[in-house]
Structure 1
Amino acid sequence: MRNPSPALVGPFARFQAMPATLALPVGIFVLLALMVLPIPALLLDIFFVLNIAISIAVLMVALNARRPLDFSSFPSVLLFATLLRLALNVASTRVVLVGGHEGGAAAGHVIESFAAFLVGGNFVVGLFVFAILMIINMIVITKGAGRVSEVSARFVLDALPGKQMAIDADIAAGLVTADEARERRREVSVEADFYGSMDGASKFVKGDALAALLILGVNIIAGFAIGMISHGLSASAAGEAYVTLAVGDALVAQVPALLLSIAAAAIVTRVSDQRDLAGQIGGQFADPRGWLPVALILGAVGLVPAMPQTIFLPGAAIAAVIWWQLKRRADAPAPLPEPIDEPSPDTIVLADVADSTLVTIELGYGLVGLVDAQAGAPLITRITGIRKQLSRDLGFVLPQFRIRDSLDLAAQDYAVLMGGVSVARGSLRPGKLLAIDAGEVRPMAGGGHGLTGEPTRDPSFDCPALWIAPAARDHAIAEGFLVVDPSTVIATHANQALLAEAHQLLGPDEVRDWVDGLKTRAPALVEAVYPDPLPLAALTRTLRALLADGIGLAHPQPLFTSLALALQKTSDFDAVIDAVRADLGARLVARIAGPDEPLKVVTLDAGLESAILGGMVDPATGQPLIEPDCGSMIVREVNAVAEAEGSPVALIVQPPARRALAALLKTRSPRCVVLSIAELPAAQPIAVVGVIGARDEHPPGLAAPQMQELAA
């Protein structure tokens, strides 16, 4: 048989879904019909039974919920159940007042049974029973549940910002994934909405109780009036006929109202637990220490001569039996765990030989105290801090780091590994502090300074430093040193090493989460780039290249906009990267110059730049090859200019030469940023501070001719 066409499947599916979508509107119209249209007594009996069944079902769901949010629809259910009960009150009032003189059966068998069986046909007794139920419902249950709802809603709303911040902190620390964080945010929002709705829904129960009291009063007064005026009954006969039915009607409505009040109180007083309410209460009453005093007190009271021993002493015996059974269960040995089949010694699994952690920090055995929990684990705290900072700077959540000891390292050495390859190494002195001379140390009159310690170099920035005793900390700070502890040395060194290789930390999983986050804010922008024309692998390669060039992902919308515009012009990988860099040139310049500061620029001599562009070319990449002697000269002169200026500088070159010079200077001249002319913002003020490879006729302070025009 052929499959149905798609044109028929859609309408058929919508037709199947129509009953569910129309159930609530149809139910509301039925409630309105109950209020305004006369209905037969048989149908009224059916609705009364349905009302009682719904109330019992709501109570059971409330008691079996493991936490309040498992019954998040309760406020709406409470509203519709209250409307149903009020509609039945209106309908039953009409039936009682119209046919009450004919006897109890005229109002239906349910009202007749409640009036005859529960109160024995005596309407005075029924009035007192109804009053007691009203007191229990309104003053005790409803008032208490309303107060709990109000306080819970206030506390939940006050705690909402803190919960959101905790989720953001867990994302930054990598403790949760983006999907888990999204689910937790949804639960927090639903919780706030639920308790806010319950605060208002509790007013439904209170108003329903007041309405039942008023309806009973109207039925009694109207029954006397109609019975005596319209049907000529005496006052006693009218009271016997109408008031009895009115009380039965009120009790029929009040029993479901009491059940719903209990359900509301059970929901708002619940504490989240893995068990339902019965299991939670039973588990907490299973302590045998609470039942022995019960047995002893009941037994002591039962021995008093004036007390009924036939009740107290059996109660004491039952409590003693419960205590004995619980104590025996608590003293019973725990069941032995099932034996676990140990793997064969010659079995090797993938987890034994593979390390799935991307970043690992290895410590020599002399540095293990830095991760000791009893000492506060200072290194773990520092590593968590730099991971948050790196994630914030780079714009994506870094995978978790791993810290472990290594026998391959010396006792006081450490290493930072990325993908199993060492990217940073250093040596520490446990129990000492590192005093770093960052250029602010004030020399004494005779030269040098008064601080003594073991000379070394700061591993992060290669500044002169000293290992000093903790007691000399204040002295070092007074001398102008920057004093840090060993855990900070490792964390700072790891931060610098990982920041230099940040592009290797970005994988397809991180890119997917990054794109999903942007898709919630700018879906059309994402569709212009991903997955067509750039699938996940191509997009990962592109973003890694931009990260390697110093363009972070912390501001995804302008980056994706530039990428989308570049892809409209070309699909060549290098051309796309150059176009994005040119569009985001202001971001590159902002790394080394403020918005109102002139950019310190270094240029290449025209002849030198022409020689580089006209020289050998790498056949694999098509990029110019720089001869070793020429490269050494460029590095030396760039470093000399940066050292003389005391601040980072930018080397401005022609676009074809940017990649080759950037690769040359990236590790050899970290204080120099290589930019092409196209990446220089038009409104950026510049100051040419040097010309590399200039001849004698070009003084070092002047730019090459083409750069003079640019500067003008």
Structure 2
Amino acid sequence: MIGRYYTTIVKRHSHLVLPLGVIIGLIVIVVPLPTPIMDLLITLNITISITILLVSMYVENPTKFSVFPSILLLSSFFRLTLNIASTRLILTRGDMGQAAAGQVIRAFGQFVAQGGFQVGIVLFLIIIAVQFVVINHGAVRTSEVTARFTLDALPGKQMSIDADLSAGIIDEKEAKARRQELVAESEFYGAMDGAIRFTARDALASLLITIIDIVVGLIIGVVFKGKPIGWAAQNYTVLTVGDGLVSAIPALFISLAGGIISTRAAAKSNLGEEITSQILYDHRPWLISSAALLGFSLVPGLPGIPFATFGLLAGALAYVTYKQKSIDAKRIEKRPPEAKPPERIETLMRLDPLELEVGYGLIRLVDESQGGDLLSRIKAIRRQFALDLGLIVPPVRIRDNLELGPNEYRILLRGSSVGGSKVLLEHYLAMNPGNVVEEVEGMETIEPTFGLPALWISEEQRERALLAGYTVVDPSTIIATHLSEIIKTHADELLTRQDVQNILDQVSETHPKLVEELGANNVGLGLLSKVLKGLLRERVSIRDRVSILEAVADAITMTRDPAMIVELVRMRLGRMICMQYRTPEGELPVFALSPDVEELINNAVQTTEQRSYLALEPDKAEQLVGKLRETIDSVQSESVPVVLCSARIRRHLRYLIERFIPNVVVLSHNEIPSDLKIQSLGVISLQ
């Protein structure tokens, strides 16, 4: 109970530890310390450094020790404050003997300088050299390389997460956790790149302080205190070496911890377990080492006992490792056979591409005998998609679900819910388009498809709402519109390889040579599927299948990158793409990018051997999206907003803004027919 009580108090006031530590450090710099306090602080410094070193060894993942860069800075600050305090004691009280700066400094100085103060100086310089030249230099270089490669790999890792999410391998929760882990990793190694340099400068500061202590101490002892030069050299050197060691040893531990953290890779165990398991993985290296050491023990002139001892030890490790592998192998062989697989139940696991689940209160909407017209509306939707997008929408399975509320419905895509809401029978949904002349009363709600504010009104109010300027729809229209928009949004997910094969079969009936050429160029169903999905993702119709396949046949001679092929196909379909966004006057209203925005995005496009991607800084991306939304919102237009840009950045710009402004269409200059008039609605600029 007492331990829990004090633990609770510490946790409650943990936010005060850092400010109090900094304040104490400032006090140590300004106020002369009694030697017992100095001994206590030096011991605390050694304790902290050992603890940090052990934590770095036991942590499984470097990012789990995310405060380590800050600890490097604070530990360097703490050591330097102790250096200042000890230097003050040595220079002001050094004539009082070797206990002038405390018992800890005297003990370190006398222990190391037993063979003379020259030995102490040499040992101190060796420790500084090892710390600065070897450990610090290697840790700094490792941190630089790790930070650079981590940041360079960030866009690719983000795209990999997005790809796994799109493929359904992971869900949104796991994707969010991976993104947070990715951000934490990049921030950690970026901070380590700078923080690790504190340890290098710390070693130089210790060396400089040591030189100052010895030189100035001799001057003060001989000139001002009147001590003999031999006594002053012995006394001040012992104190200085002791001071240097109590500072250099903790600094060496911290530098070693920094090197361990910088060189660690993500693992499921601590460093000691990793080293043991990997070094003892195979018995053959230990067997060869044993033979070599035993051979050295037989060489005349070499001490035989040490070589023989470690040779036998290596042989024992080889034997233990070999026996352990044999035991593990037998254990695997004796493992009982796996249980027989259960009976095949694939038929129960089959998922429909599209499903519409309704509560029992909405069954009448799909029952034609009760006047329901939802089935006929869905048939019309499938027919319209075939005409508009060239996509054969799979049949929509409609079934009742008792888990839903009476007036609820839910739309599922391959078993996953992608939309749903509640509708009121015997009511109508009234939406204000912004020009109503009279308000009507009703139950406030949100239109499920586009998220617009709306009202549920009774049948008696319907005529009045229409006269007032409201858009009024019935429950069947609400569900049908919602379903249509979801199909449009997820059209690329509905296209399967079998659908692509059906397209090829139909085209081969009228254009057999075209299909033969695609086969000769190794254009498989996977590549064609990616191209068609890329078009559908931006709501480009794939109805003109012959033109699309001819464009693919031409593009495949230049690249096999599906994204680049999509861009080349879009250029071939440019007229068809632009026609759907024309005004009644035959003009194409567009928002153009200013030269500085074009240059910014173009410079951010990174190209590798496999693909190209946009590596735009997050703040610039956020600013660009904000300016784009602001410019579009400032123009009153009923048409779909279209952004015009160069062909090189089109798909990257679309990928950037599709999550934030999904209804924006991005066209390239190469997709605009020469005879189509352009109407400029504004210029998007970061200025």
For Structure 1 versus Structure 2, the TM-score category normalised by the shorter chain is 0.5 to 0.7
- Give, in whole Å, the separation in 1 of the partners of 2:162 and 2:199: 39
Residue by residue over 1:466-495, the C-alpha shift from the partner in whole angstroms, topping out at 9 and shown as x without a partner, is: xxxxxxxxxxxxxxxxxxxxxxxxxx99x7
Larger Rg: 1
1:53 paired to 2:47: yes
For 2:422, the equivalent position in structure 1 comes to 538
- Give, in whole Å, the separation in 2 of the partners of 1:508 and 1:461: 23
- Give, in whole Å, the separation in 1 of the partners of 2:272 and 2:139: 19
Residue by residue over 1:233-285, the C-alpha shift from the partner in whole angstroms, topping out at 9 and shown as x without a partner, is: 12112112222101100000000000111111111111222121111111111
Task: Give the counterpart letter for 1:326 in structure 2.
Answer: T
For 1:321, the equivalent position in structure 2 comes to 316
Task: Give the counterpart letter for 2:311 in structure 1.
Answer: A
- Give, in whole Å, the separation in 2 of the partners of 1:599 and 1:581: 31
For 1:563, the equivalent position in structure 2 comes to 451
1:359 paired to 2:243: no
For 2:592, the equivalent position in structure 1 comes to none
Preserved contact between residue 38 and residue 86 of structure 2 (Cα < 8 Å): yes
For 2:609, the equivalent position in structure 1 comes to none
TM (normalized to structure 2)?
A: 0.54
* TM alignment of 1:149-228, pairs within 5 A: 149-228=143-222
1:497 paired to 2:390: no
Identity of aligned residues (%): 34
* TM alignment of 1:301-700, pairs within 5 A: 301-332=296-327, 333-335=329-331, 355=348, 358-359=351-352, 496-498=392-394, 504-505=411-412, 510-511=417-418, 538=422, 562-567=450-455, 574=473, 594-596=580-582
Return the offset for 1:315: 2.1
- Aligned partner of 2:99 among 85, 95, 105: 105
Task: Give the counterpart letter for 1:594 in structure 2.
Answer: Q
* Structure 1 residues 321 and 562, CA gap change in structure 2 (3 angstroms): closer
Preserved contact between residue 124 and residue 245 of structure 2 (Cα < 8 Å): yes
- Give, in whole Å, the separation in 2 of the partners of 1:311 and 1:582: 85
> Residue 119 of structure 1 aligns to a residue in which SS?
helix
Return the offset for 1:339: 5.6
* Structure 1 residues 261 and 561, CA gap change in structure 2 (3 angstroms): same
Contiguous gaps of at least 5 residues in structure 1: 1-13, 361-389, 391-422, 425-459, 463-491, 515-535, 546-557, 601-680, 685-712
Return the offset for 1:538: 3.1
Preserved contact between residue 507 and residue 540 of structure 1 (Cα < 8 Å): no
> Residue 304 of structure 1 aligns to a residue in which SS?
coil
* Structure 1 residues 46 and 576, CA gap change in structure 2 (3 angstroms): farther
- Give, in whole Å, the separation in 1 of the partners of 2:231 and 2:339: 88
* Structure 1 residues 136 and 569, CA gap change in structure 2 (3 angstroms): farther
Return the offset for 1:93: 0.8
- Give, in whole Å, the separation in 1 of the partners of 2:56 and 2:331: 34
Return the offset for 1:497: 3.4
The CA RMSD measured in Å over matched residues stands at 4.4
For 1:292, the equivalent position in structure 2 comes to 287
* TM alignment of 1:85-164, pairs within 5 A: 85-120=79-114, 122-164=116-158
Task: Give the counterpart letter for 1:327 in structure 2.
Answer: Y
Return the offset for 1:29: 1.0
For 1:4, the equivalent position in structure 2 comes to none
* Structure 1 residues 86 and 682, CA gap change in structure 2 (3 angstroms): closer
Residue by residue over 1:96-154, the C-alpha shift from the partner in whole angstroms, topping out at 9 and shown as x without a partner, is: 11111111222111001001112227321111001000110000000011101100111
Return the offset for 1:564: 3.6
> Residue 79 of structure 1 aligns to a residue in which SS?
helix
Preserved contact between residue 63 and residue 185 of structure 2 (Cα < 8 Å): yes
- Aligned partner of 1:283 among 277, 286, 289: 277
Preserved contact between residue 570 and residue 576 of structure 1 (Cα < 8 Å): no
* Structure 1 residues 165 and 239, CA gap change in structure 2 (3 angstroms): same
For 1:40, the equivalent position in structure 2 comes to 34
Return the offset for 1:510: 4.0
Q: How many residues align?
A: 422
TM (normalized to structure 1)?
A: 0.53
Preserved contact between residue 358 and residue 505 of structure 1 (Cα < 8 Å): no
> Residue 104 of structure 1 aligns to a residue in which SS?
coil
* Structure 1 residues 174 and 209, CA gap change in structure 2 (3 angstroms): same
Residue by residue over 1:496-537, the C-alpha shift from the partner in whole angstroms, topping out at 9 and shown as x without a partner, is: 3348679742599745xx8xxxxxxxxxxxxxxxxxxxxx85
Preserved contact between residue 141 and residue 261 of structure 1 (Cα < 8 Å): yes
* Structure 1 residues 272 and 15, CA gap change in structure 2 (3 angstroms): closer
Preserved contact between residue 58 and residue 260 of structure 1 (Cα < 8 Å): yes
* Structure 1 residues 104 and 72, CA gap change in structure 2 (3 angstroms): same
Task: Give the counterpart letter for 1:324 in structure 2.
Answer: Y
